């Protein structure tokens, strides 16, 4: 099975249970992270981009003030795949999960 193969809903739910910072929103893995300031949020984009390049899987992102919003989804075939969770894990290494 390819890391891009869509996962079942049950497998996605199980994987999300292990990643409290992420949620499934409109068929995408979504994480928002408050970085404290615009500069701090902007500074995290380059390391996230480098992690995405290593996996050859790139998130959609937006920044509003000090908050980053990251969205991850496999485009072909469409769905949530292991690769999405691999990227989520790489992002989590860069953005600490806040309690």
| Integer angstrom CA distances of residue 26 from 7, 30, 37, 46, 52 | 15, 9, 28, 26, 21
Q: Is residue 52 part of a domain?
A: yes
- In the chain, the N- to C-terminal Cα span, in Å, equals 34
C-alpha–C-alpha distance, residues 74 and 6, integer Å? 8
Residue 40 has a pLDDT of 93
For the chain, what percentages of helix, strand and coil (3-state, to nearest 5) are there?
Answer: 40, 25, 35
Q: Is residue 73 part of a domain?
A: yes
- pLDDT confidence of 99, banded at 50, 70, 90? very low
Domain range spanning residue 68? 9-94
Identify the pLDDT of residue 77.
85
Give me the pLDDT at residue 2, please: 78
Domain tally for the chain?
1
Q: Where are the alpha helices (DSSP H) in 1-99?
A: 9-17, 38-55, 82-94
Residue-wise pLDDT for 15-73, tens only, equals 999 999 999 999 999 999 999 999 999 999 999 999 999 999 999 999 999 999 999 99
């Amino acid at each position: 099975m390819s890391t891009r193969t869509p996962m079942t809903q049950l497998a996605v739910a199980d994987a999300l249970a292990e990643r409290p910072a992420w949620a499934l929103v409109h068929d995408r893995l979504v994480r928002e992270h408050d970085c404290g300031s615009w500069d701090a949020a902007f500074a995290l984009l380059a390391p996230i981009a480098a992690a995405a390049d290593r996996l050859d899987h790139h998130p959609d992102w937006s920044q509003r003030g000090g908050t980053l919003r990251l969205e991850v989804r496999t485009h072909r075939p469409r769905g949530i795949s292991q690769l999405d969770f691999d990227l989520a894990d790489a992002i989590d290494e860069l953005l600490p999960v806040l309690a």
